[in-house]
Amino acid sequence: MSVVQSIDDKLILESPGNRREIFVGDLPLLIGREPSCAIPLNDTLVSRNHARIERREGGVAITDLGSANGTCVNGSKITESLLLDGDMVSIGETTLTYRKGKERETGTRDVQASVEVEEAVEEIQRSIVLPAMGRGGGRRQDAMFSILFNVGKAVSAAATLSEMIEKAMGLVFSAIDAERGIALFIEGSSGQLMPKCVRHRHREKVAPEEIKVSSTIVRKVLADKVAVITSDAKRDERFSEGLSIRQMNIRSALCVPLWEEGEIFGIVYLDNLADSHRFTNDDMVLLTAIGNLIAIRLRHERLNEKLQRETALRTNLARYHSPDVVELLVSRWQTGDIALEEREVTVLFVDIAESTRLAEQLSPADFAALLNGFFDLSVAAIFANGGHVNKFIGDCVMAIFNAPLDVEAHAQKAIRSAMEIVAGVRRRAAVAGERVPYGVHIGINTGRALVGNIGTESRKEYTVIGDVVNTAARLSKLDRTNEAVVSEATLQSAGGDVRAERMGDIQLKGKEQALAVYRIC
């Protein structure tokens, strides 16, 4: 049974000093004060494991997990409730607004794919079968239509690709007198053909390597995207240079491409080693039509896989980037356009002052809750000013301004983010519920850097490298609690509207020359 699922479902989280979007591709999602929750909330009104969001048959639902202060949907306390687009979930001081994405049928038995397959059968009849057999095909034509509908149903109903190709090849062997057959799918960027199903009329089990597919025939099918049939392969002039055909003693062969909308997914190959049967034109027409049906299913599988990868990518990116940057990175990921480039950026480092002492005073769970609150506050300020979070390093946040998106007055906005973080920390320290007040260290620097995807082929991440990063990190270590320490380059880039006090020329660790350093007033 297929499941109705929305692509790009999201929750818009709003709490004091914080607003962010959370994509809900990975369900269920646990909400609570416990740091291990998918959506941790640093709020004394929130229970450790407060509520859970999960998919149900009717859509996305939220369930209260016996919380002390309850969960409300649109102002009404609930035990569990299906969420509709625009519903507002209230948990403590946090509001989560549910936004539904585009609906489509998901799962391997895709209803939309099934409909398209059945429509494709009719189209294949018109475009392939009728032109090849003519209007007077009579019983032959009716029998072929019946076979195609059976294949179409099998292809659309199969739970997995393995089940699909096994059923399809079984129907091929019931309709076409072939001794051996193999289906090969193209996998990976190399375009290598990999065996997915092997059949032998007289043997129940056969290894893929036992069927040596003629490379001469395969090259022609893949290059020209046309079926190839030969009733006497050894004497066929088209393959006079095909040593593999003669060596394998192939008498009759039939090979069709699996292709749909210009994209080729693989081939189906049949042959006979004996003279008892030679493939006919009807065989070629039927196998070509079946190949089209298989290709439609393969195309839908790839589209579903792509959507799942995009959903997972959005979920991961949303943890570090503002929504507009997420959209940019997703679009560039789709086109592969995240090349390295050199540009001017402003880099901000912020960490918790005396974090080691705090970790000793608090339990691991309470310290993690403190960290999450600090991260929420910092990320909200950075996003609000057009920056993006490059990474979390222990109790430190590293942010970049002016990459990957252009940010006007990026140095000024980085400073503004710093001041908003300091104000938020002081505000929390004044709240009676904050058991252990804490301060922050902030360092900001501006300069040229190399930005883009950096890493191995298997794992890359968008980041920034250069001395501008190292200097910003060193500035954050100058032990100025609840103050933003900036370089002269940042101050000059920010312009005259920023009030700053010169701290002098300071020798930073690892730097040969002293650097003019300022604190923001």
Integer CA distances (angstroms), 415 to 385, 451, 495, in order: 9, 21, 11
- Asked if the structure places residue 104 within a domain, the reply is no
d(CA 399, CA 450): 15
**DSSP conformational letter for 234:** G
Indicate if 299 and 331 belong to the same structural domain.
no
Of 154 and 395, the one with more pLDDT? 395
Indicate if 81 and 227 belong to the same structural domain.
no
Which amino acid, residue 382?
A: I
pLDDT averaged over the chain?
82
Which amino acid, residue 261?
A: E
| Nearby residues of 166 by Cβ (< 8 Å), 6 or more positions away | 197
Cis omega (within 30 of 0) on the bond before 28?
yes
Q: Do residues 377 and 460 lie in contact, with contact meaning Cβ atoms separated by under 8 Å?
A: no
Which amino acid, residue 119?
A: E
Which amino acid, residue 487?
A: S
**Last residue of one domain, picked from the residues 99, 122, 153:** 99
Indicate if 172 and 299 belong to the same structural domain.
yes
Of 144 and 357, the one with more pLDDT? 357
Compute the average pLDDT of residues 400-404: 91
Residues 298-355 have pLDDT tens digits of 988 888 887 777 776 676 666 666 676 777 777 766 665 566 789 999 999 999 999 9
Here the CATH number for the domain that contains residue 373 is 3.30.70.1230
- Asked if the structure places residue 429 within a domain, the reply is yes
| Nearby residues of 407 by Cβ (< 8 Å), 6 or more positions away | 386, 387, 401, 413
Compute the average pLDDT of residues 184-210: 86
**DSSP conformational letter for 270:** E
Confidence band of 236 (pLDDT split at 50, 70, 90): low
**Last residue of one domain, picked from the residues 274, 303, 332:** 303
Indicate if 272 and 348 belong to the same structural domain.
no
Domains in the chain, number: 3
Closest CA to 297 of 145, 153, 149: 153
Q: Give the lowest-confidence range in 134-138, 147-151, 205-209, 377-381.
A: 134-138
- Asked if the structure places residue 408 within a domain, the reply is yes
Indicate if 191 and 90 belong to the same structural domain.
no
Indicate if 439 and 349 belong to the same structural domain.
yes
**DSSP conformational letter for 317:** H
- Asked if the structure places residue 483 within a domain, the reply is yes
| Nearby residues of 299 by Cβ (< 8 Å), 6 or more positions away | 260, 261, 263, 265
d(CA 97, CA 71): 13
Which range has the top average pLDDT, 126-140, 271-285, 382-396? 382-396
**Last residue of one domain, picked from the residues 99, 114, 132:** 99
Confidence band of 504 (pLDDT split at 50, 70, 90): very high
Q: Do residues 315 and 25 lie in contact, with contact meaning Cβ atoms separated by under 8 Å?
A: yes
3-class DSSP state for residue 436?
Answer: coil
Whether 189 shows a pLDDT value over 70: the answer reads: no
Q: In the structure encoding, which two tokens stand for residue 119, read together?
A: 């429509």
Indicate if 280 and 379 belong to the same structural domain.
no
Indicate if 266 and 380 belong to the same structural domain.
no
pLDDT number for residue 2: 44
Q: Which domain holds residue 220?
A: 142-303
Compute the average pLDDT of residues 280-286: 88
Compute the average pLDDT of residues 31-58: 85
- Asked if the structure places residue 376 within a domain, the reply is yes
Residues 122-153 have pLDDT tens digits of 676 666 656 655 555 566 666 777 788 788 88
Compute the average pLDDT of residues 203-223: 85
Do strands 396-401 and 388-393 pair parallel, antiparallel, or not at all (unpaired)? antiparallel
Indicate if 257 and 167 belong to the same structural domain.
yes
Residue 33 CB: number of other CB atoms within 10 A? 22
**Facing residues of 38 across strands?**
none
CA angle (287, 278, 163) in 5-degree steps: 35
Whether 109 shows a pLDDT value over 50: the answer reads: no
Whether 62 shows a pLDDT value over 90: the answer reads: yes
Here the CATH number for the domain that contains residue 153 is 3.30.450.40
Q: Give the lowest-confidence range in 156-160, 176-180, 237-241, 495-499.
A: 237-241
- Asked if the structure places residue 121 within a domain, the reply is no
Indicate if 509 and 373 belong to the same structural domain.
yes
Long-range CB contact pairs, 381-384, < 8 A, 24+: 381/17, 381/417, 381/418, 381/420, 381/421, 381/424, 382/348, 382/417, 383/19, 383/20, 383/321, 383/322, 384/19, 384/417, 384/420
Here the CATH number for the domain that contains residue 59 is 2.60.200.20
Question: Percent of the chain, pLDDT > 70?
Answer: 79
pLDDT number for residue 237: 59
| Nearby residues of 411 by Cβ (< 8 Å), 6 or more positions away | 346, 401, 444, 446, 490, 491, 493, 494
Q: In the structure encoding, which two tokens stand for residue 191, read together?
A: 């375009």
Indicate if 330 and 276 belong to the same structural domain.
no
- Asked if the structure places residue 338 within a domain, the reply is yes
Closest CA to 234 of 242, 226, 223: 242
Integer CA distances (angstroms), 469 to 152, 372, 443, 444, 504, in order: 58, 24, 10, 9, 21
- Asked if the structure places residue 42 within a domain, the reply is yes
Indicate if 341 and 294 belong to the same structural domain.
no
Which range has the top average pLDDT, 80-94, 230-244, 261-275, 277-291? 80-94
